[in-house]
Chain A
Amino acid sequence: MEMTGKKTAARASFSTRKRWSMRLSFLVGLFLAFYSLFLANGIVFRHPVRIDLTEEKLLSLSRDSLERLKLITEPVEVVIPTLLLRDNPDHLAQHDVLTRARLLLSEYLAAQPLIQVAAEVDVLEHPDRWERIRAEYKLESSQLNRFIFFAGKGRERRQTVTPNDLAFFGSVRDPGTDVPEVKAFRGERAITSALNRLVTVDRRAVYFTQDKGEAQFRPTSEKAVGVGGIRVLLGELDSQGLEGRPLSITGLREIPVDCSVLVIAGASQIFLPEELRVIDAYLERGGKLLVALGVRRTGIESCLEDWGVRVLEGQVQSYIDTPLSKTSHAVVAARQFSRSHPATSIFVNVPRFEVQLELPRPLVPGGKGKGFDAAPILSAVSHRGVDYYLVGLPGSRELPKPADFDLVLAVSQVIPERPPPEFQRRDTRLVVTGSATFLGDQYFLRSSNRDFLMNCLRWLLGDEVRSTEGGTEWTKRTLRTDPSIERYLFWVPIFLLPGIFLTAGVLVYHVRRT
């Protein structure tokens, strides 16, 4: 038990110095841990990765949207002014849609950090703030319940997404009290296209032939022959990043190279053979053509026949047979559409789809072909109460047998499953409609006319894959109602399940005690 002081000092287990160094190392460790916690989360905060687990991928952006978001290279600001008056049924419906769309917008924000919500303001709660935002962003006081996107220096470019863009609303009996039901939601399409319009600088040209009595850029008079003005359509094209341009086909050698789609809407004068050759040459080199036929033959029919569309003589009219009245109408409501064709498959979920055509000329797929296939995408089908007849002239008393008619055909190349080596792909696409009235100013915004036409244009432009993706249906999942099931709903969750656990607990406790 002899021990020297030196020995003790050399191998002391405990000392004040040791203790202080341990305290210090704790503090340093604490600081480092805290710092790395902050750093890591600071980095992660900027890089959202979101996984959508819903069955329908309601909140997943389609590949197209994501690709388009990649094209955004400048900051985009979003302003969301909301106003919810509880007793206003429209506001309630809009609120529902905007809430969903706001969730979807979060996905956009997560995918593209350049998009930022600059302001979300409840107009009722913060009127002063709303005033300031209005002044800053130059907004009208009525621009409420919508997403407003700004881009560019001085925010000179803006795009708006309204609840009507985001969803289809059903009609209501009493607009004052009934809340319109949200029939379908198409938030992704609305937001993506708004962003697309916002950032697209170079616009694609859509040429409208103008010298064969077609629908006019500037109508000479309200009662112009044919379909009249198409200003509404042009405005719509403008908002979609397309530019409508007039084209005089007389003496034209070649359709302009920058022509994305050529539109012949409601021509009433005869096309000369040279002119038809120009059009045919345009189609041969992969052109896109939208023909909305006028009431008279113009010679374009023979050109269409080369590409697989036969136009029948006469016009279709509808005959509505109700107990009170039997009347014939020039307006034909076409409701039957192709569920598989990309140009119309988007309307599968739309509750009431209807394109109103005035005295359309019936179309039949066929003709010479050239390896192209003409698919009927819109038809008028007779059913109880409404019949369709083919008549030579409007107002004719003699009624032939009612029948079904194809009114719009879409033409594209048939691509065999295993294309032979010499197979040549051709991008040529045509859409032929039996009537041109629906794209005129008077009718364009009625029924589904606008949606239908714009979607046909997208298909012609080759955007159909993109436009049909997204726009997922918000299905309603309901619980079966059945009195026998009701009992289970009461007994199982409240008594049986907790009872099982309680019994198990008592058993375990009993077993452990003995």
Chain B
Amino acid sequence: MSGLLKAWAIFLREMGAYFFSPIAWIVIFLFLVINGSMFYAFSSVLTGQPRQITMVVESLFEFSIFWILPLSPILTMRLFAEEKRSGSLELLMTAPVTEFQVVLGKFVAAQAFYTIVWASLLPLLVMLEVLGDPDWGPIWALYVGLFFLGLLTNAMGLLASASTRNQLVSAVLALSGNLLLFFLQMGQSLVPEDALEARRWIRFLSFTSHFEGEYSRGIVDLRYLFLYASLAVFFLFLAVRTVEARKWR
């Protein structure tokens, strides 16, 4: 219980760090300006007449899905690398907290901020609700998918941040991890078409195809959520070990 309280303290401090630094606001601002412009384009011109709401929603997320790539690296690069560089990690780790509590607090903060960034799109969707009658099923499914995928990418970013003292290196590491997952779908073309099992596995692992095939159609496959979450747990485990590593490296 007191352990959770300490993680909570870390969480509060990290949330403060996000909101008190201009970067967070700039990220949200850019996110909204770009997605808002695309939203306008989709809803007024690109989807043709009559303007189909399902297509507006689909196109909006199809476009904004690319934010997954840079978002988590930007949000997580600071978390450990900055503390290592400035030396405040020393102060943090000499307080009576465990590595797990620190990692948990920071991770939850990154996840919360990530969720806030995505939630900033909701007003646009509420506009659709006013102007028409969108099916909220696919929207919620997309959000569920984004949230769980965020668990994975944020955990990966946290691990990258914990393994270096340079924020840029951390961001690049996390980004390459994301890109790997992102382009996994392309790997399907490398596998012979008869290797069905391999193709099934690739499809299972590649989150882009989950967004195309399932979430944007309103389907949530619990397998994928489990996959993301279990990978996230694995990366968090590695992150805890990496922070600990100074003791036995």
Seen from chain A, the residues whose Cβ lies within 8 Å of a Cβ on chain B are 19, 22-23, 26, 29-30, 33-34, 37, 40-41, 44-45, 47-56, 58-59, 103, 106-107, 110, 116-119, 121, 126, 129, 476-481, 485-486, 488-490, 492-494, 497-498, 501-502, 504-506, 508-509, 512
| Beta-carbon contact of A33 and B237 below 8 Å | yes
B-side contacts of A501, CB under 8 Å: 25, 28-29, 32, 120
Interface contact B52-A54, CB-CB below 8 Å: no
Q: A37-B231, A41-B226, A50-B221 are in contact. Are A477 and B26 (CB under 8 A)?
A: no
Q: Which 6 A-B pairs have the closest CB atoms?
A: A505-B25, A493-B36, A53-B137, A54-B218, A54-B137, A22-B248
- A505 to B226, Cβ gap below 8 A? no
- Mask: chain B, 127-155; 1 = CB below 8 Å from A; 0 = not: 11001111111101100000000000000
Given A41-B230, A477-B52, A505-B22, is A489 in contact with B29 using a C-beta cutoff of 8 Å? no
Nearest CB of A to B36, in Å: 3
Asked if B193 contacts A126 (CB within 8 A), the reply is yes
Seed contacts A494-B40, A509-B25; 18 additional CB < 8 Å A-B pairs: A22-B247, A29-B241, A30-B241, A45-B204, A51-B221, A53-B137, A54-B217, A103-B213, A129-B193, A477-B52, A477-B132, A478-B52, A489-B127, A492-B124, A497-B120, A497-B124, A498-B28, A505-B28
Task: Name the residue of chain A whose CB is nearest to the CB of B124.
Answer: A493
Cα–Cα, bound, A489→B140 (Å): 22
Question: Residue A490 contacts which of B22, B40, B213, B227 (CB distance < 8 angstroms)?
Answer: B40
Residue of A whose beta carbon sits closest to that of B244: A26
A22 to B226, CA, bound (A): 30
Contact of B33 among A41, A129, A490, A498 (CB under 8 A): A498
Judge if B174 is at the interface, Cβ distance under 8 Å.
no
* A477→B134 contact, CB < 8 A: yes
Task: Establish whether residues A488 and B241, one from each chain, have CB atoms under 8 Å apart when the complex forms.
Answer: no
Closest to B128 in A: A479
For A22, list chain B residues within 8 Å (CB).
Answer: 247-248
Give CA–CA (A254, B25) in the complex, Å: 85
Contact A479 B53 (CB under 8 A): yes
Contacts of B25 in A (CB 8 A): 501-502, 504-506, 508-509
Q: In this assembly, does B44 line the interface, its C-beta being within 8 Å of a C-beta of chain A?
A: yes
Name A44's contact: one of B37, B120, B124, B226 (CB within 8 Å): B226
Which residues of B sit under 8 angstroms from A506, Cβ to Cβ?
25
- Taken together as a complex, chains A and B put the C-alpha atoms of A30 and B238 apart, in Å, by 8
Count chain B CB atoms within 10 A of each CB in A44, A118, A129, A488 and give the residue with the most.
Answer: A44
Report the separation of the CA atoms of residues A480 and B25 in the bound assembly, to the nearest whole angstrom. 33
| Alpha-carbon distance A222/B140, docked complex (angstroms) | 60
Q: List 17 A-B contacts (CB under 8 A).
A: A40-B226, A45-B201, A50-B219, A51-B219, A51-B220, A53-B138, A53-B141, A53-B218, A53-B219, A58-B217, A476-B52, A478-B132, A479-B56, A479-B131, A480-B132, A493-B35, A502-B25
Bound-state CA distance A504–B248 (Å) is 45
Q: A22-B247, A26-B248 are in contact. Are A480 and B131 (CB under 8 A)?
A: yes
Task: Give 1 or 0 for each of B38-62: 1 = CB within 8 Å of chain A CB.
Answer: 0110011000011111101000000
Q: Are B120 and A106 in contact (CB under 8 A)?
A: no
Q: A117-B196, A497-B123 are in contact. Are A478 and B221 (CB under 8 A)?
A: no
A55-B53 in contact (CB<8A) = no
Task: List chain B positions with a Cβ less than 8 A from chain A.
Answer: 19-20, 22, 24-26, 28-29, 32-33, 35-37, 39-40, 43-44, 49-54, 56, 120, 123-124, 127-128, 131-138, 140-141, 193, 196, 201, 204, 213-214, 217-223, 226-227, 230-231, 234, 237-238, 241, 245, 247-248
Query: Which residue of A55, A116, A498 is within 8 Å of B136 (Cβ)?
Result: A55
Q: Which residue of A lies closest to B242 (CB)?
A: A26
Could you tell me if A488 and B127 are in contact, using CB atoms closer than 8 angstroms?
yes
Do residues A477 and B241 form an inter-chain contact, with CB atoms below 8 A? no
Q: Chain A residues with Cβ under 8 A from B227's Cβ?
A: 41, 44
Residues of B within 8 A of A479 (CB): 43, 50-53, 56, 128, 131-132
| Residues in B whose Cβ lies below 8 Å from that of A492 | 36, 123-124, 127
> A77: shortest Cβ distance to chain B, in Å?
11
Q: With A and B bound together, what is the CA distance between A19 and B249 in angstroms?
A: 8
Which secondary structure characterizes the binding site on chain A? helix
Smallest distance from the beta carbon of B5 to chain A beta carbons, Å? Answer: 25
A129, B194: Cα distance in complex, Å:
9
In the complex, residue of chain A having the shortest beta-carbon distance to the beta carbon of B39? A493
B interface SS class: helix
Give the CA-CA distance A481 to B56 in the complex, in Å: 14
CB-CB < 8 A to A53: which residues of B? Answer: 136-138, 140-141, 218-220
**Contact (A505, B29) CB under 8 Å given A59-B219, A479-B53:** yes
Cβ contacts under 8 Å, B49 to chain A? 481
How far, in whole Å, are A146 and B135 apart by their CA atoms in the complex? 29
B226 to A509, Cβ gap below 8 A? no
Evaluate contact between A486 and B218: CB separation under 8 angstroms: no
Is there an interface contact between B132 and A48, defined as CB atoms closer than 8 Å?
no
B230 CB contacts on chain A under 8 angstroms: 37, 40-41
Q: What is the CB-to-nearest-CB distance from B91 to chain A, in angstroms, rounded to a whole number? A: 21
Would you give the shortest CB distance from A82 to chain B, in whole angstroms? 13
Interchain CB contact (< 8 A) of B51 among A41, A126, A478: A478
With both chains docked as a complex, state the minimum distance between the C-beta of A98 and any C-beta of chain B, in angstroms.
Answer: 14
B contact residues around A110 at 8 Å (CB): 221
**A49: chain B residues within 8 A (beta carbon):** 221-223
Bound-state CA distance A112–B160 (Å) is 40
Residue with the greatest number of chain A CB neighbours at <10 A, chosen from B131, B136, B245: B131
State A54–B136 Cα separation when bound (angstroms): 7
Cα separation A501 to B34 with both chains bound (whole Å): 14
Cβ–Cβ contact B22 & A50, under 8 A: no
B contact residues around A117 at 8 Å (CB): 196
Nearest residue, chain B, Cβ from A24: B248
Residues of the A chain whose Cβ atoms lie less than 8 Å from the Cβ of B218 = 52-54, 58-59
Complex contact B20–A508 (CB within 8 A):
yes
A505 touches B132 (CB 8 A): no
B213 touches A106 (CB 8 A): yes
Query: A37 → chain B, closest Cβ, in Å?
Result: 5
Minimum distance in angstroms from A449 CB to a CB of chain B: 33
Taking a contact as CB atoms closer than 8 A, the residue among A19, A29, A129 that contacts B248 in the complex is A19
**When chains A and B are docked, how far (Å) is the Cα of A115 from the Cα of B136?**
31
> CB distance A47 to B127 under 8 Å?
no
B19 adjacent to A508 (CB under 8 Å):
yes
By a CB distance below 8 angstroms, the chain A residues around B28 are 498, 501, 505
Query: Is B53 within 8 A of A497, CB to CB?
Result: no
A486 partner, pick from B44, B54, B120, B132, beta carbons under 8 A: B44
A160 to B37, alpha carbons, bound, how many Å? Answer: 45
List the B side residues contacting A502 at CB < 8 Å.
25, 29
Known contacts A476-B52, A504-B25, A509-B22: A54-B135 contact under CB 8 Å: yes
By a CB distance below 8 angstroms, the chain A residues around B247 are: 22
CA of A488 to CA of B43 in the docked complex: distance in angstroms? 11
